[in-house]
Amino acid sequence: MSYRGRVGLLTYSTKPRGGVVHTLALAEALVAAGVDVHIFALGGEDGAFFRDTQVPFTLFPAPSGIDSLEEKVFASVDSIATGLAGVVDEFDLFHSQDCISARAATRIRDEKAGPPVLRTVHHVDDFTTPALIDCQRKAIIEPDHLLVVSEQWRGILREEYGVTADVVRNGVDPSRFPPVTAQRRAELRASVGAEDRFLFISVGGIEPRKGSKTLFEALGLLRDRGLRPVLVVLGGHSFQDYEAYRREALAMLPDLGLELGTDVIGVGTVSEDVLGAWYRSADALAFPSVKEGFGLVALEGLAAGLPVVASDLPVFREFLTDGRDALLPAVGEPTALADALERVMTDERLRSTLVAGGHTVLPSFTWSASAARHAEIYQAVRPI
């Protein structure tokens, strides 16, 4: 079904974080299904998202020059709320993808008689100050309807916040990862010294949630076993400041027998086409997260035809099966992760099995199916 109302999709950033990737893909699928969608986000001076989109969007000023996370969060809420106040009468519902835009949308709903607010909870941030913890709690309990992308998070919200949510799965678009030429593949691999070395990529930057320290420790164990893969770390833009963790993680490398720039190479945030080329040029994806709302990167790895080494998180087990379409070593265990990475490096038959298994997972995760389910929920929340 389609939805005849006008939907404002809200996100906190224009950078390629999971929730923003989700927002753009969902918006495009909704538009393809005939839904009138407009995206609102906090943006920078470039005035654009990390990739092109034909869906109309408006960017509100992102706060700058603020060091305190608490002040940054509340300034961001204020910026989105101020922007939405001017368009509140033009929409039938607002659908938020994060804590910040949810607080802004519910404020406008309450102060300006705005439309109902839906919120997709991708995960719950590890805030530490009382004000931010309260802000996050209100961003979960105040919206009119909640969505999650996994059964695990539906259970967490029920048990920890006493709220109910509908599960609407993510999707993945394999066309984002087209094959690259042999020359392009060779150029990328040569740029990181991986001409004749096994190349792992990790997407999401160096962060606690991504299990980066565990991954580095596992690489050190592989070196002790005589194996020397290259790890390229892509991405890393985050609303929260993980610089201290990043410094600590990189400081571990010398003691692990690893060299920054030779064994571990940070590429940072790249354009959509370059990201796709890295996926297509690597030998495997290393994604040993310790916490995820879903783990869209794992699906992207499958879509790009890569063997995936993730972790034994309950959320991963909802769509991955160890040994069939991914390897899922114990969470936060360097030795178990090293064993899994070694298996992928040394067993060509296993790599082929995982890639083939990954192809069987993909049909269950399409953005068109996700959009159709969203449209049904929109109609239930705000009948048009």
Mean per-residue pLDDT, 353-381: 98
Quote the Cα angle for 264-273-50, to 5°: 90
**Across 319-338, average pLDDT:** 98
Strand partners, 233: 202, 266
- CA separation, residue 87 to residues 40, 53, 81, 91, 379 (Å): 11, 21, 10, 7, 21
Ramachandran bin of 289, using left for φ above 0, alpha for ψ from -120 to 50, beta for the remaining angles:
beta
Taking residues 162-185, report their average pLDDT: 96
Q: pLDDT tens for residues 64-89?
A: 888 888 999 999 999 999 999 999 99
CA torsion sign, 192 to 194 to 195 to 200? negative
Mean per-residue pLDDT, 226-248: 88
Tell me the mean pLDDT in the region 93-111.
97
What lies within 8 Å, CB to CB, of 347 at 6+ separation is: none
Give residue 47's pLDDT: 86
Residue 57: strand pairing partners:
39
d(CA 246, CA 265): 13
Q: Sign (positive/negative) of CA torsion 249, 197, 228, 341? A: positive
What's the start-to-end Cα distance of the chain, in Å?
A: 13
The confidence score (pLDDT) of residue 125 equals: 81
Which tokens go with 275?
């990201």
Homologous superfamily (CATH) of 174-364 is: Glycogen Phosphorylase B; (3.40.50.2000)
**Which has the higher per-residue pLDDT, 238 or 81?**
81
Q: Are 147 and 121 in contact (CB under 8 A)?
A: yes
- Using DSSP's 3-state secondary structure scheme, residue 158 falls into helix
User: For helices 348-361 and 296-303, what crossing angle results, to 10°?
Assistant: 110
- 40-54, 229-243, 305-319, 356-370: least confident range: 229-243
- Indicate if the pLDDT at residue 323 is higher than 70: yes
The answer to whether domain 6-171+366-381 and domain 174-364 are alike in fold is yes
Q: Domain ranges for the chain, please list them.
A: 6-171+366-381, 174-364
For the chain, what percent of residues have pLDDT higher than 90?
89
With tokens 């949510």, the residue in question is 165
> In the structure, what pLDDT confidence band is assigned to residue 241 with cuts at 50, 70 and 90?
confident
pLDDT at 170: 94
Alpha-helical (H) ranges within 252-347 are 272-281, 296-303, 314-317, 334-346
68-77, 257-266, 278-287: which range is least confident on average?
Answer: 68-77
Residue 18: pLDDT band with limits 50, 70, 90: confident
Q: Mean pLDDT over residues 42-67, rounded? A: 91
Mean pLDDT of all residues in the chain?
Answer: 95
Tokens for 318? 């909802």
Ramachandran quadrant class, 35 (left: phi over 0; alpha: psi -120 to 50; beta: rest): beta
Distance CA 76, CA 368 (A): 31
| pLDDT above 90 (res 99) | yes
Query: Would you say residue 240 has pLDDT above 70?
Result: no
In sequence order, what are the beta bridge partners of 145? 118
At the fourth CATH level, the homologous superfamily of domain 6-171+366-381 is Glycogen Phosphorylase B; (3.40.50.2000)
pLDDT grade, residue 128 (50/70/90)? Answer: confident
Confidence of residue 352 (pLDDT cuts 50, 70, 90): very high
pLDDT for 52 beyond 70: yes
**pLDDT beyond 70 at 237:** no
Residue 238 has pLDDT above 70, yes or no: no
Task: Calculate mean pLDDT across residues 22-34.
Answer: 97
